[in-house]
């Protein structure tokens, strides 16, 4: 039974329900907790940190690249296209993000990590909140100045994005 979604009327106490009791351990159906799904195949590149393999949209683990309409966005996408072209990508699923996208550590056949490669190219930055800082040492000098909109997003400064988008609309005559 689900807990009520509305606030109880004044003077009445809310009803709380005990969480469901977990099923007892079943050796026949148990799986290793470290077991992660793997998706393999050719990648369609959406942008500098998103690919699609076999109809699964995958966000590259631990990095942030510029959006397509932001400075360096198209350059980031085409760099990732070049890395993935004619390659079978191995995506080790780690999570599902707040937007419902699959998050995965993605590897080229030679073992190179796509997230690391994009950071080394200066077209993505480490997102420490999600990566634990594993790509930070790979960042090129001044990349956070170059990719200032991605850096602003990581710092929760979305008003910077709003200003940028407003200026872009103004320049295109839509503002």
Question: In the structure, what pLDDT confidence band is assigned to residue 159 with cuts at 50, 70 and 90?
Answer: confident
Q: What is the mean pLDDT of residues 117-134?
A: 95
The pLDDT tens digits of the residues spanning 72-114 come to 999 999 999 999 999 999 999 999 888 888 999 999 999 999 9
First to last CA, the chain: 50
**Quick one: CA dihedral 91, 158, 71, 137, positive or negative?**
negative
pTM of the model: 0.75
- Give yes or no for residue 140 having a pLDDT over 70: yes
Centre a 10 Å sphere on the Cβ of residue 9 and count the other Cβ atoms it contains: 6
């Amino acid at each position: 039974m689900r807990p009520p979604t509305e606030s109880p009327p004044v003077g009445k106490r809310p009803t709380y329900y005990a969480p469901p009791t977990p099923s007892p351990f079943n050796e026949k159906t148990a799986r290793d907790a470290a077991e992660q799904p793997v998706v393999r195949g050719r990648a369609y590149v959406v942008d500098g940190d998103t690919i699609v393999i076999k109809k699964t949209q995958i966000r590259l683990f631990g990095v942030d690249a510029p959006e397509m309409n932001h400075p360096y966005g198209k350059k980031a996408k085409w760099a990732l296209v070049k890395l993935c072209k004619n390659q079978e990508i191995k995506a080790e699923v780690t999570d599902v993000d707040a937007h419902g996208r699959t998050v995965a550590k993605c590897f080229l056949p030679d073992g190179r990590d796509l997230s690391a490669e994009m950071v080394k190219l200066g077209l993505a930055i480490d997102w420490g909140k999600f990566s634990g800082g594993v790509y930070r040492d790979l960042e090129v000098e001044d990349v956070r100045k170059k990719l200032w909109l991605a850096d602003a997003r990581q710092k929760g400064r979305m008003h910077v994005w709003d200003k940028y988008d407003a200026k872009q609309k103004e320049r295109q005559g839509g503002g």
